[in-house]
Amino acid sequence: MELSYTTNKDIMVVESPNYPELDTAVNTYIGLIEHWDEKSINSIRQLKTLALDDNNNVICEIYFDVKKDTLFANLEDSFDLAKRNSAKKVILARNYAFQHSYPGQSDKKLAQKILKFASKSGLTVANQLVVSENSYYSYTENGLSQT
C-alpha cells in the first residue's frame, strides 16, 4: 500500500513504524517511548496518532507539536490522513514537557473533546495515553470510555 501524506507542514508522518503488539496499554507505552524523540519528550508538547488497521497493526504514526490555536485543525488533518491510509481506529498519545503523566482536569476535558471529534470523523479511539519518559496514564485502563 502506498502511504498517503499531507500538505500540512506542521504534521509529520512515519510510515509503518515497527511497534510491538499493541494488546495492552503498557505495550503501547513501550512502543511509543521507543519511537519518541528523546530530546522532545521532556521539552516539546506533542500529540501522536497511531493509525491502526483491523488487526491493530500500526499503519503509520502521525504527530505534531501541540499549539493551542492549531490543535483541532492539526488533529482533523491527522484523522483525515489516518482514514486515507485505511485506518479503522487510532491510539492517541500526548506528552507534557514537565515530565509527569497524570492528567489534570483540563486534560480530562480535552480527552472527552477528542473522543467527540474522532467520532464525528468516523474513527474509533482505541485508547488515549498521557506519557512521560518514565510513566504513562491510560484513559482506557482508568475507566474513560473510548466510544
Q: Which of 55-59, 107-111, 141-145 bottoms out in mean pLDDT, i.e. has the lowest?
A: 141-145
Q: Where are the alpha helices (H) located in the chain, listed in sequence order? A: 25-35, 38-41, 71-84, 105-121
Count how many domains the chain has. Answer: 1
Cα Rg of the chain (Å, integer): 14
- 1: in domain: no
Confidence of residue 39 (pLDDT cuts 50, 70, 90): confident
- 63: in domain: yes
- 143: in domain: no
Residue 101 pLDDT greater than 80, yes or no: no
- 3: in domain: no
Q: What is the pLDDT of residue 7?
A: 66
Q: Report d(CA 73, CA 115) in Å as an integer.
A: 15
Residue 139 pLDDT greater than 90, yes or no: yes
Q: Range of 91's domain?
A: 12-138
Q: Pick the residue with more confidence: 106 or 87? A: 87
Q: Report d(CA 129, CA 131) in Å as an integer.
A: 6
Query: What does the DSSP 8-state code read for residue 120?
Result: H
- 45: in domain: yes
- 4: in domain: no
The four Cα atoms 32, 59, 63, 136 give a dihedral, to 10 degrees, of -20
Give me the DSSP letters along 27-61. Answer: HHHHHHHHHS-HHHHTTS-EEEEEEE-TTS-EEEE
- 144: in domain: no
- 55: in domain: yes
Confidence of residue 2 (pLDDT cuts 50, 70, 90): low
Residue written as cell 485502563? 141
Q: What is the pLDDT of residue 49?
A: 95
Average the pLDDT over 32-49 and give the result: 89
Q: What is the CATH number of the domain that holds 69?
A: 3.40.140.10
Confidence of residue 145 (pLDDT cuts 50, 70, 90): low
Dihedral sign (CA 35, 37, 41, 47): negative
Q: What is the pLDDT of residue 93?
A: 95
> pTM of the full predicted structure?
0.89
